[in-house]
Chains A and B, each alone.
Chain A
Amino acid sequence: MFVYLDHTATTPVSPEVLQAMIPYFGDIFGNPSSVYSFSRKSRSAIEKARKQVADALNADTSEIFFTGSGTEADNWALKGTLEKAKIAGKNHIITTRIEHHAILHTCEYLKKVEGADITYLPVNSEGMVSVEDVKNAITDKTAIVSVMFANNEVGTIQPIKEIGALCRERKIPFHTDAVQGAAHLDIDVKAMNIDMLSMSAHKMYGPKGVGALYLRKGMRPENFIHGGAQEKGRRASTENLAGIVGFGEAIEILKGRLNEDKAINSSRRDRLIAGILERIPHAKLNGATGDNRLPNNINFSFIGVEGETLLLDLDSKGISASTGSACSSESLDPSHVLLALGLKHEMAHGSLRFTIGRLTTDEHIDYLLEVLPEIVARRRAMSPLWEDYLKSIGEK
């Protein structure tokens, strides 16, 4: 059995999306920037997709700019805004400790190259940023506030509307990395006071290599990719025609089944969470519960075992999952997100993330609940840390 429980890493392109894309790899290949009538088909396909994306967010088509990825959209929003704000003497960025590396590494770059001053806001034990902390961090030098919509590791949904309102009142551009959130949640950029929003097609059953940045009317970050006049001269590069078409289809389908998906995913999520807590002793759920958690995210720490070990054991049973352990990264430090939630290193090393989606069935949940307890128990039995833990709580 192939049990894919890593929908947050990426999703398969849905068959309808693929069908919509195919003509643009073949007959309809014209460069959208060319003048002749043959290219009009390519141009109108892009404009259709732009409308599909704009409609999904309650934005105007003139506010959607296609990019090569969610990461690029994040880079553009942060670098472009800071560069512009520097002219007005503003060089302060407010963000959080739980952002994706697309934000964190961009901030580090801006600190190094542009001398930007970065405030990394803490989160509570459930991974939630406090609006009060954002308020207190704002200075007259603040150029941009960037808070992710929902966290990719633990699934905590942030108080975006409130932070947006605060920033709007203080006239500070507010950006949100919604690469995860946009794939699951009802987002209304107007109602939520969002100035800039990044997203990515491959998280929503669309193709890899295409994303978008929503820029509210009046937002004019410096350009990030320089070249031709595509995207109204604001994002050069010959358009990823088929990719953009796929993105438009994917987001329209996603939006159409949002409530249905949310209901089924949250019910499976909660069944999996309850099942793990019931079957595995000393399992700790990381992140929030209920409506404050992405409907598809399950993240646990199992004291005494290391995440990569569990991933490989699960892989041998046909299950694909993810971990915040250092062993799955290039460094020796475990997930910065789990550490920001206040987890000890050994708990962060022992984390597993399961993210469900369209490939998930009830049988997959049952199967995982059947094999995971044995896997954890077997690896714990060979761990000196588990033994020490049992002694420390007086169970051995």
Chain B
Amino acid sequence: MALDYSQKVMDHFINPRNVGEIENADGVGEAGNPKCGDIMKIYLKVNPETKVIDDVKFKTFGCASAIASSSMATEMIKGRTIEEAWNLTNNAVAEALDGLPPIKMHCSVLAEEAIHTALNDYREKHGMPVIPMEHHED
């Protein structure tokens, strides 16, 4: 039982930021699957002029670190341009949470993937070229 989470992880797990859905979102992305026990869904509202992410919401099925990673990742891309958001790495999310237990690192990977999927959904819908994604096994 991995209870050795940082205070930041526990904070974002107990009071997750940006939980919910955005109706008529400009981009939606999902990563993970029920088999491995984590699913993350990200909703984006993007300013058409500036390409800045004005709002972002998430829904996550998964353990504490999956919920905390979603919460932190959405905080980190809010107010950023879609290009800046693309460059958010899973390691940056994990670092911002003061680290994740090694067995839970895949949760931060999932956050990166869900954001990339949502950004590509946005790009596709807005006539921009889709960026090739790295896919992870877990």
A residues with CB within 8 A of B: 304-306, 308-309, 311-312, 315-316, 325-328, 330, 332, 334, 344-346, 349, 381-387
Q: Which of B3, B36, B60 is in CB contact (< 8 Å) with A384?
A: B60
Q: Which of A309, A345, A384 is in CB contact (< 8 Å) with B35?
A: A345
Chain B 34-63 per-residue mask, 1 if CB under 8 angstroms from chain A, else 0: 111111110000000000000000011111
CB <8 Å contact, A382 and B37: no
CB <8 Å contact, A384 and B67: no
Q: Complex Cα distance A327/B39, Å?
A: 13
Size band of the B side of the interface? 20 to 34
Given contacts A309-B64, A349-B34, A385-B34, contact A328 B59 (CB under 8 A): no
Identify the closest chain B residue to A315 (Cβ).
Answer: B3
Given contacts A305-B61, A332-B37, A345-B37, contact A382 B2 (CB under 8 A): no
Given contacts A306-B63, A312-B13, contact A382 B41 (CB under 8 A): no
Residues of B within 8 A of A384 (CB): 30, 39-41, 59-61
User: Do most interface residues of chain A lie in helix, strand or loop, or is the interface mixed?
Assistant: helix
Chain B 16-39 per-residue mask, 1 if CB under 8 angstroms from chain A, else 0: 100110000000001000111111
Residues of B within 8 A of A344 (CB): 34
> Which of chain B's residues 66-103 have a Cβ closer than 8 Å to chain A?
66-67, 103
Q: Complex Cα distance A316/B2, Å?
A: 15
Residues of B within 8 A of A330 (CB): 103
B residues with CB within 8 A of A: 1-3, 10, 13-14, 16, 19-20, 30, 34-41, 59-64, 66-67, 103-104, 106, 138
CB <8 Å contact, B19 and A382: yes
Identify the closest chain A residue to B138 (Cβ).
Answer: A332
Q: Which of A304, A309, A381 is in CB contact (< 8 Å) with B63?
A: A309
CB <8 Å contact, A306 and B36: no
Q: Complex Cα distance A312/B67, Å?
A: 12
17 additional contacts (CB under 8 A) given A305-B61, A311-B1, A382-B59? A308-B63, A309-B13, A309-B63, A327-B62, A345-B34, A345-B36, A345-B37, A382-B19, A383-B59, A384-B39, A384-B40, A384-B59, A384-B61, A385-B34, A385-B39, A385-B61, A387-B59
Residues of B within 8 A of A306 (CB): 37-38, 61-63, 66
Residues of B within 8 A of A326 (CB): 36-37
How close is B21's CB to chain A, nearest CB, in angstroms?
Answer: 9
CB <8 Å contact, B37 and A327: yes
Residues of A within 8 A of B13 (CB): 309, 312
Identify the closest chain B residue to A386 (Cβ).
Answer: B61
Residues of B within 8 A of A305 (CB): 61
